[in-house]
Amino acid sequence: MAKAPEGMDCEVSDQTDTEAAGHPQPLITVITPCLNAIATIAENLLSVLAAREALKRDGWLLEHLIIDGGSDDGTTELVAEYADRYSFCRWIANIRGGPYAAMNAGLEQASGHYTHVLNSDDLLLDSAGYAAFLQEGHRKGAKVLITSIGYFRRPDRQLKSLWLVNPVPMNTSEWKQQLLRGLHYPHPGFIAETELYRDEAFDEKYSLSADYKLMQKLLLGPARPETTLLYTQPLVAMAEGGATGSWRAILKGWKQLTAINQELGIQASSAKRYWKKARRRLLPLAEKIMIEKLEGCER
């Protein structure tokens, strides 16, 4: 049986969340879909636990839903032990159909005012900043919150690059036109009111790009500049690679993005988004070739 990793024995209050919080509804539901994630999910859990403690100090609840797709590497045992220890965490096992099916299953169960999908190999970077951002969004009546993200590659957790979001134009027509011309945001940094998220849900026929469609539909539809809050510093770290990182996935994702753009009337090339993914794969290869050439010259 997998054991909880070092760090999960951190001291937390003996009070139940309901007793400790000043607000009965969780401010945020974090949904983590996972499948055979034993190598990475502990860091994810610890980062969400830190955010929960930061919110709890201000009287707010956090709910963490872990949706497992049928892991057989020890992930379920680790998550079960974690959920037994912490009442704010619940897990649902054996949700088949891929990550978007797991996300939709989480949306059905989410009770938070906001919902945030955080994949099992991704992390929250700044628990205090994350908690403050959520509270500011709630105080201002924001329906959508978006934060910049950083990219890292294990085992080195140093950020390699950033996806920085710019402030939203306060003119609704101008912003919608930018979205129709291809402006989009990082899904790991996307947070929305749970009812909005649940009403739209993920279109599971787009196995690699359903998150893009959901975000664009919400932003082109009910979202408005005055109810959208952005945080320009990265609060989330996304692991490079994953389901959309292979060459085959890049090609498939490009085709799906093209179809989604046509469906939503977005006049933008899908190649721009997937060129970034291709470039991130090419750069390590180019560095390796360069090192090999230099080593050859030294011989």
> How large is the average pLDDT for residues 197-202?
98
Domains of the chain: 17-241 (3.90.550.10)
- Report pLDDT digits (tens) over 150-179: 999 888 888 999 999 999 999 999 999 999
Helices (DSSP H) in the chain: which residue ranges? 17-20, 41-57, 75-85, 99-109, 127-140, 172-180, 194-200, 210-220, 247-264, 271-298
- Report pLDDT digits (tens) over 243-296: 555 667 778 888 999 999 999 999 987 665 555 555 555 555 545 555 555 555
- DSSP per residue, 212-236: HHHHHHHHHTT--GGGEEEEEEEEE
Closest to 111 (Cα-Cα) out of 222, 47, 198, 214: 198
Confidence of residue 1 (pLDDT cuts 50, 70, 90): very low
Percent of the chain with pLDDT over 90: 74
Residue 231 has pLDDT above 80, yes or no: yes
* H helix and E strand count, the chain: 10, 9
Alpha carbons within 13 A on the beta-carbon side of 166 = 7
Q: Running DSSP on this structure, what letter comes out for residue 97? A: S
Q: Report the distance separating Cα 52 and Cα 253, nearest Å.
A: 34
Map residue 144 onto helix, strand or coil.
Answer: strand
Confidence of residue 14 (pLDDT cuts 50, 70, 90): very low
Pseudo-torsion of CA 78, 79, 82, 86, nearest 10°?
A: 180
Mean pLDDT, the chain, integer: 87
- Report pLDDT digits (tens) over 45-90: 999 999 999 999 999 999 999 999 999 999 999 999 999 999 999 9
Closest to 110 (Cα-Cα) out of 194, 191, 51: 194
CB atoms within 10 A of CB 122: 21
